[in-house]
């Protein structure tokens, strides 16, 4: 039941964010291109459907944990991440959600959260940051932009906004 509620919430929040974002298109058309790319690449995944190893060297991973999908911090975090998906997609980020401790997913076993936790993982699979409170996309992207691999991508002109 918790998985179903989480999935429904993610779909609703994502749809609302995309509808709002669809109204704003830049002169260069990059917003439209980013939206098209975002529609091709899923941003949110349930922890029961994936493993962290699937994303090594291909994606940066943001993991959002909670002990229940009703946790206000969990709800706030999903809303914050859904508000600006284009900034996450530009940085090769995917979001994994896990709000069911009893499921004992591979992601939960690997990261061993206690209650709500936001975890940022680099493309090489290393955990770079754990936070006990929600962060908005601006804070997440600023943290990611400081990482060495991301700095290399910026210098080479890959994955820029």
What are the average pLDDT values for consecutive 10-residue runs of the chain, which has 161 residues? 54 46 42 54 93 97 98 98 97 98 96 97 97 98 96 84 54
Nearest of 153, 143, 126 to residue 52 by alpha carbon: 126
Query: For 136-145, which contacts have Cβ atoms below 8 Å and span 24 or more sequence positions?
Result: 136/80, 136/83, 137/80, 137/81, 137/83, 137/84, 137/87, 137/88, 138/84, 138/87, 140/62, 140/81, 140/88, 140/93, 141/87, 141/88, 141/91, 144/60, 144/91, 144/93, 144/120, 145/91
Write the Ramachandran bin of 132: left for phi over 0, alpha for psi from -120 to 50, otherwise beta: alpha
> What is the structure's pLDDT at 23?
38
Number of residues that this document lists for the chain: 161
- Return d(Cα 4, Cα 120) in angstroms, integer: 24
> What is the structure's pLDDT at 21?
44
> What is the structure's pLDDT at 153?
92
Is residue 136 within 8 A of residue 80, CB to CB? The reply is yes
What pTM, to 2 d.p., does this model score?
0.76
Superfamily of domain 2-156: Glutaredoxin (3.40.30.10)
> What is the structure's pLDDT at 3?
60
> What is the structure's pLDDT at 24?
37
> What is the structure's pLDDT at 35?
53
Domain residue ranges in the chain: 2-156
> What is the structure's pLDDT at 6?
57
- Return d(Cα 108, Cα 59) in angstroms, integer: 18
Residue 135 phi/psi, 5-degree rounding, is: -120, 145
């Amino acid at each position: 039941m918790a998985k179903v509620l989480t999935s429904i919430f993610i779909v609703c929040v994502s749809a609302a964010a995309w509808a709002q974002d669809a109204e704003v298109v830049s002169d260069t058309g990059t917003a439209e291109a980013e939206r098209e790319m975002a529609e091709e690449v899923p941003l949110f995944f349930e922890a029961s459907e994936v493993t962290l190893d699937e994303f090594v060297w291909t994606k940066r991973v943001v993991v959002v944990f909670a002990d229940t999908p009703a946790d206000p911090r969990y709800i706030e975090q999903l809303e914050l991440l859904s508000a600006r998906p284009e900034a996450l997609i530009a940085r090769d980020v995917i979001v994994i959600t896990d709000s069911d401790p009893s499921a004992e997913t591979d992601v939960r076993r690997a990261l061993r959260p206690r209650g709500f936790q936001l975890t940022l993982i680099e493309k090489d699979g290393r955990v770079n940051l754990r936070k006990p409170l929600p962060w908005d996309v601006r804070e997440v992207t600023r943290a990611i932009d400081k990482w060495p691999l991301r700095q290399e991508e910026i210098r080479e002109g890959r994955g820029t906004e």
